[in-house]
Amino acid sequence: MLKIFLLNLYSVSRKLKLPVQPALFIVAALLVSLCHAKNFNGPNGTVRLESRIFGKTEFVPLLDLADSLDLSARWFYEPAKIELRNNKISVDVMVGSKLVLINKSDIRKMNSSIVFIKGEPYVAATLLTSTLKPYFKKTSSGKKSFSRSKGIIVIDPGHGGHDTGAIGYRGIVEKDLVLDIARRVRTILVRKGYKVRMTRDSDRFIDLIPRADIANSIGALILVSIHGNAASKNKRSITGSETYYLSKAQSASSKRTEKIENLGIKKKISSRWGTLKYKVKLWLLGRHFKKNREKSKKLAELVQRRLAKITIGKNRGIKTANFSVLRNSYCPSCLIEVGFLTHPTDATYLKRSSYKQKIAGAVAQGVIDYINIK
C-alpha cells in the first residue's frame, strides 16, 4: 500500500510540477507522526511512553512498560512467553496470543497479541491502562525483598565427557576439578535455602550454547560458570584467579582465554535458541547487553572479591570476554577461573579437598552478596 501511495504521489507531483523531495518529506513526516510520545494513566500514575497505532489498536513498547511498573522481563522457551515480574506480581504474556496470565491464575485478554518492530516487542496500551490496574491497587512502595523460593541459580561446571578442559601440573584435570567445586557450591547454597540447577552433575559432555539454554528456559536468576585456567607459556610464573563478565575481549590474555573456553562450540547445534525467530533473538540479546551487562559486572566483582580473599595465587581481578556461555544467556552471568592448573602451587592446592571447599564457600558467598543487593 505504501509503495502504491508513493508512486501515486510521485505522479501527482510531476503533474503539478512540484519538487519530488519535499513531497516525499511530507510523507515521511506523516509516517513519523504515527509514532510519538504520549502520557498514559498507568497503575502507579502517569507514564510517558512511545505510542504506535496499528489498525485500530494502540501499542506501547513492552520493555518500557515493564520499567514503568518496576517489573523485570524474561523470556521462556517452552511455552513461548515473556514474563514480567517483581516480588508482588507476575504477568505472563504469550507470544502469538492475546491471552495474559496474571499471578499464574487469572486469565485476561488483550486487544492484540505482541507485535515486533525491529526486534522490539510492543503490546496493546490497554495492558497498562486497564488490564493490570486492579492488581496494583494494594501495592505500596518500599524496599524490595528477594524470596529464596523465587529464582534459580544455575551453576555451570565447564567442559565434561570427552572435553577434558585443561590438563595441568601432575595430571590435574579441569573437568573433574570444576565439577567437584560446583557440587560444593550447590550444597552450600541449597543449605541456605536457595534453589540451584546444575548444567551437568556428572562427567558428560554438553555443548556450550545448550548450557545457556538451560538457564534461559527456566528463567534463571543468575548463571555462574566455573573453570580452571591454563597458561601455554611461563607456566611457573602465571598464577591466580579471575572472573569474567560479557564483553569483547580487551586484553591479550582475555582473548587467549576466550579462545580456549569457546573451543567446544560445534558448527551445528540442536538448540531451542536456534528455533527462535530472528526478531526475538534481537530483542533477547539487546536486553542482555542493555540491562544485564552492569548486573553481570557487579556479580563478577562480588564473586572475585570473595575469591581474592582465600585463593593462593594472584588476584587477577575481573575481566571482559566474549565467552559463548555468557553471550547466549540473558540473565546476569559470570565465568570464574579458579586458578591456573599449569602452575605448580595453584595445582597443588586445587587438589586439596579443604581448598576446594574454601573456593566453593567464596563463590557461594559472592552469589549471596549479589542477591542481597538486588
Structural domains of the chain in order of their starting residue, each with its CATH number: 1-33 (no CATH), 37-136 (3.30.457.10), 152-373 (3.40.630.40)
Neighbours of 50 (CB within 10 A): 14
Kindly indicate the confidence band of residue 225, based on its pLDDT and cuts at 50, 70 and 90: very high
Q: Tens digits of per-residue pLDDT, 319-373?
A: 998 888 888 887 899 999 999 999 999 999 999 999 999 999 999 999 999 999 8
Between 58 and 247, where is the model more confident? 58
Distances (CA, A) of 149 to 70, 105, 171, 221, 244: 20, 18, 40, 11, 27
Summarize pLDDT for 89-138 with one digit per residue, the tens.
889 888 788 888 888 778 888 889 888 877 678 899 999 999 998 888 65
Query: d(Cα 247, Cα 184) in Å, to the nearest integer?
Result: 28
* pLDDT, tens only, 16-63: 444 544 444 344 334 443 577 889 998 888 889 999 998 889 999 888
Is 125 in contact with 58 (CB distance < 8 Å)?
yes
Helix (H, G, I), strand (E, B) or coil at 138: coil
Whether the predicted pLDDT of 153 surpasses 50: yes
| pLDDT band at 301; cut points 50, 70, 90 | very high
Report residue 218's pLDDT band, with 50, 70 and 90 as the boundaries: confident
